[in-house]
Structure 1
Amino acid sequence: MSEPILEARGLSYDYPGGIAALSGLDLTVARGRRLAILGPNGAGKTTLLLHLNGTLRPKAGEVRLDGAAAGYTRAALRAWRAAVGLVLQEADDQLFSASVRQDISFGPLNLGLSEEEARARVSEAIAAMRLSHVVERPTHMLSFGQKKRVAIAGIVAMRPSVIVLDEPTAGLDPSGERHLLYALADLHAAGTTLVFSTHDIDFAWAWADDVALFQEGKVVRQGTAEEILLDAALLKPLGLAPPLIAEVARRLPGYAPGAPLPRDRAALLARLNGEEAR
């Protein structure tokens, strides 16, 4: 595995009233990888994500960025959030400008960039998130999926090393999910590290390189997608089961234990067609 770009070490955090959200949590985000954070409601997933870009400050522990402890001064937070962009689950919580272009421009302009450089970054983000057809549209007139891509484009325009996404596919129809995942795949291929929370084990299997299992404010286990998501005994106490695609592939005639398993529907169908052809 590549070296860590982002780490949480011993994070603890309580909400008002003494409600514990994180309890000595440790997490490692490897550079250039896609990390899925998987666990039930109330496990602490969103709270962790809000710590990873400095939105929340822990009661104990620290977040490390590129090997150094992240700071909470105004200057340190500004640099931190330029390196680690956070996309909230509800895009309406993140969009506030009158038009798509204005919203995407907000971040680069607040970095103190020249107008020319800011314009170039905005154009780059619009192209990356496939938004050219809605760029002058008011944000309140967008579909849910379009709003989500605009929120991500606003982060992309900052050119962060890491993008953290809270339930990126939640509420999307199949078409909206495909558009979003194509765009995120392009960002990952260009070198962006991605961290995302999800309840969907099949989505995690199809898309993640690494997985962290959460329960009661802690990481129960972290490893590669294969190590975590194919371990039925590990998943069962969290009310989870291995991905359906992997389970079907394991039951095909001729499957050899330990052989690579298909990660998505297209790969499974190709495997099925191959079995039928034989």
Structure 2
Amino acid sequence: MSKYILETKDLSYKYPDGTRALNNINLKIEKGKKISFVGVNGSGKSTVFLNFNGVLKPSKGTVIYKGNEVKYNHKSLLELRKNIGIVFQDPENQLFSADVYQEVSFGAMNLKLDDTEVRSRVDEALKNVEMQDYKDKAVHFLSYGQKKRVAIADILVMKPEIIVFDEPTSSLDPKHSKQIIQIFDELNEKGITVVLSTHDVELAYSWSDHVIVMKDGEIAREGTPYEIFSDDELINNCYLEKPLILEIFEELRKSGKINTTATIPRNKGELFKILMDSNLN
């Protein structure tokens, strides 16, 4: 069995108004990995995501899930969306029920599960996002961050193999952003493939196993976080920024103040350890 759970081959998409959003996208997403898409607004990230689970149908090319080409009949799309869930940037666009329990149970009920299984899945999904104490609360009384968590639970109740997040930390303060990322890590530890788009280069650098850079509807480059963010030409051409941790490390290494064989840091803790081991004055 292939290690790639989701692929696209020559994927292109043109909107009805003639806007060409994607041009020959070829991707292979490995099962169980943490994947970040980066790129400026309009680069095609959200359009790729909507093609992943059949919300949009390619103008050309194919989407392949677990080795099988995606078909666009009703039955096939229901099965696909059960396994590939998308959490949209603004939870207001995803939530529509009166209270939290009704909201999260909707997807499970559509799977024609019995009441016991529905309750079990809803309880598990709410526990995973730490919203179990809010299951009877009206959705419109929730904070923005709480609505984000409920939107995630909406997808978890389907027990997907892939969850796709479009700008998951936008409009969140640092505390709630960290909580959302912790949820992603816990989901990934359970074997779920987590895919997200983000403008936060610090997040993409520190969190991801693999980074995909998009520009003008095409893939500019993909690789490890270090491969991507150490490529100064790529960063300039795609209007990105170098993560601060990596920038500090590279400047210190260039100046000879730290060991040139030091492991490249991915987070503040690793950078601090390098600084302490180097005995900087």
- TM class by shorter chain equals over 0.9
- Structure-to-structure mapping, 1:122-271, within 5 angstroms: 122-252=122-252, 253-256=257-260, 259-271=262-274
Name the residue aligned to 2:70: 70
- Structure-to-structure mapping, 1:42-53, within 5 angstroms: 42-53=42-53
Asked whether the equivalents of residues 249 and 255 of structure 1 are also in contact (C-alpha less than 8 Å), the reply is no
2:199 and 2:12 mapped to 1: Cα distance? 23
2:83 and 2:49 mapped to 1: Cα distance? 14
1:206 and 1:118 mapped to 2: Cα distance? 36
Q: Which amino acid aligns with 1:156?
A: L
How far did residue 226 of structure 1 move? 2.0
Over aligned residues, Cα RMSD in angstroms?
1.6
The C-alpha deviation readout for 1:195-251, integer Å capped at 9, x for no partner, is: 101112111001111011101111111122222122112221112232110121233
Asked whether the equivalents of residues 259 and 278 of structure 2 are also in contact (C-alpha less than 8 Å), the reply is no
Report the more deviating stretch, 162-171 or 15-24: 15-24
Q: Which amino acid aligns with 1:198?
A: T
Report whether the alignment pairs 1:273 with 2:276: yes
In the superposition, the TM-score normalised over structure 1's length comes to: 0.95
Name the residue aligned to 1:120: 120
1:274 and 1:99 mapped to 2: Cα distance? 53
Q: Which amino acid aligns with 2:118?
A: A
| Residues matched between the structures, number | 276
What SS is found at the alignment partner of 1:140? helix
The C-alpha deviation readout for 1:182-202, integer Å capped at 9, x for no partner, is: 111100111110110111211
2:107 and 2:82 mapped to 1: Cα distance? 9
Asked whether the equivalents of residues 232 and 241 of structure 1 are also in contact (C-alpha less than 8 Å), the reply is no
- Structure-to-structure mapping, 1:86-101, within 5 angstroms: 86-101=86-101
Q: Which amino acid aligns with 1:147?
A: K
Asked whether the equivalents of residues 86 and 164 of structure 1 are also in contact (C-alpha less than 8 Å), the reply is yes
The C-alpha deviation readout for 1:128-157, integer Å capped at 9, x for no partner, is: 111123221111111111111100011011
Name the residue aligned to 1:29: 29
Aligned identity (percent) is 39
In the superposition, the TM-score normalised over structure 2's length comes to: 0.94
2:259 and 2:133 mapped to 1: Cα distance? 46
What SS is found at the alignment partner of 2:213? strand
Q: Which 5+ residue runs of structure 1 have no aligned equivalent?
A: none
1:197 and 1:18 mapped to 2: Cα distance? 24
What SS is found at the alignment partner of 1:180? helix
Name the residue aligned to 1:5: 5
How far did residue 262 of structure 1 move? 1.8
What SS is found at the alignment partner of 1:251? helix
2:230 and 2:119 mapped to 1: Cα distance? 45
Q: Which 5+ residue runs of structure 2 have no aligned equivalent?
A: none
How far did residue 277 of structure 1 move? 7.9
